[in-house]
Chain A
Amino acid sequence: MIIEQRGYAPTHNLVSTEWVEDHLEDSNLRIIESNEDPLLYVSGHIPGAVEVDWTRDLNDPLRRDYVDSAGFQALCERIGITPDTTLVFYGDKSNWWAAYALWVFSLFGHRKCLLMDGGRLKWESEGRPTSRESATVAPTQYPRSERDDSAIRAFRSQVLDHVARSGKLIDVRSPQEFSGERLHMADYPNEGALRGGHIPHAKNIPWARAVNPNTGEFRSAEELRALYEEEAGLASTDDVIVYCRIGERSAHTWFALKHLLGYQNVRNYDGSWTEWGNSVGLPIER
């Protein structure tokens, strides 16, 4: 089903691989690849795409936080964008890391952030062009902008207040992590926690349920509503907090709720279970 027939919110910020190929020569558009596997970008990427690495480019090298305004400014100037540049993010693992990068760019107020449906796998499976040449971009001037954590990011104290108000939470981890049967995501033992379970009142909708496993494309709005509204009990007017283990999988769900279903108040708790499950005295349900 093409994107226009899926019933998303009018400002859905999702573009097709076909749209991206049609806009490869658009000088006001920058394509950004963000992957987990560090070899993938160099092994071949969409022609003209630049790489944003979630560890080196988006995270503070010392503190557990994202880059500051100077770091973000330097990144934007390196990849040759201005505040008016339209960004198209894509990557491996059904855009897991690409959605995370898009969310961080949104924290800094970059408004024109799009996600390419299906990500890298879909682009390749359709036989679209790739290149191993590093994109040559002219450095730009990008004004320094303060990161605004208030609208789409949640911190521990805010989540505690949210729980006290019986606010809506979506836990996008696996059912085993949600139930407390497992203290970490399968294969990610160093990102575990001392306690298992979930934040009180949270509903469990694993992030990958939002995509078609065969194509990597997002499910239709009707299918997403069945997941988040019928199954998890959300309403579009709710104040919602999403979380996983470090905030990257939940950035994918944040995108689905915020941009595809048009929810106005969705925040990503990037401290997530590695903070909550390791903190002293915080309430936990199993």
Chain B
Amino acid sequence: MNFYPAKLQSILDDLAMFPDRVERIQVLISIADRFKNPTEGEHPKPYPDDHKVPACESEAFVWVSLDDERKLKLEVAVLNPQGMSAMAMAMILKDSLDGESPETAAHVSEDVIYDIFGKELSMGKSMGLMGMVRLVKHFARDLAGTK
């Protein structure tokens, strides 16, 4: 059984209400439609390589920081305008992990991508989406170690 924080589990429960593939994709697209890249003031380009999501063909970048209460703030950029799956994944991670502790985020199972997108993802697509989760976890683990 995979571990998911409450907000992420809630999103997955909502998605599970759409067993039909097309309906689920439409829900994911509506999630992706809310995605916005960081402004130049927030993160100027070119983005640093150590924030680039490994294996992501949509050229996604991730930043994870802590607020004054040691709660996570997640930011994601997706440079490929056709990177719809990456945008949906970014919004789901942001909706579910913003405000969580870094310890919680560090334990999210990477298999969440299959619970979101289904198991019919191509290898390239799944590796890119999994890479985004891994990078968020990597930064969260680093932040969990800082007091």
Contacts and interface: CB of A to CB of B under 8 A. Distances in A.
Interface of A: 36-40, 42-43, 53-56, 92-93, 120-121, 124, 134, 186-191
B128 A187 contact: yes
8 A-B pairs closest in CB distance = A39-B84, A187-B55, A42-B25, A188-B123, A43-B29, A43-B84, A187-B127, A39-B85
Contacts of A92: 82
A191 B55 CA distance: 14
Contact of B22 (A37, A134, A187, A190): A134
A57 to B, nearest CB: 11
A90 to B, nearest CB: 13
B146 interface: no
A36 B124 contact: yes
Nearest to A35: B82
B26 A55 contact: no
A190 B32 contact: no
A189 B127 contact: yes
Contacts of B68: none
22 contacts: A36-B125, A37-B125, A38-B85, A38-B120, A38-B125, A39-B29, A39-B32, A40-B82, A40-B84, A42-B22, A43-B29, A53-B120, A55-B122, A56-B120, A120-B82, A124-B81, A124-B82, A134-B22, A187-B54, A187-B55, A188-B124, A188-B127
Contact of B25 (A39, A93, A120, A188): A39
A37 B86 CA distance: 9
Given A42-B29, A53-B120, A191-B123, 16 more contacts: A36-B125, A37-B125, A38-B118, A38-B121, A38-B125, A39-B25, A40-B84, A43-B29, A43-B84, A55-B122, A56-B120, A124-B82, A186-B55, A187-B127, A189-B123, A189-B127
A36 B82 contact: no
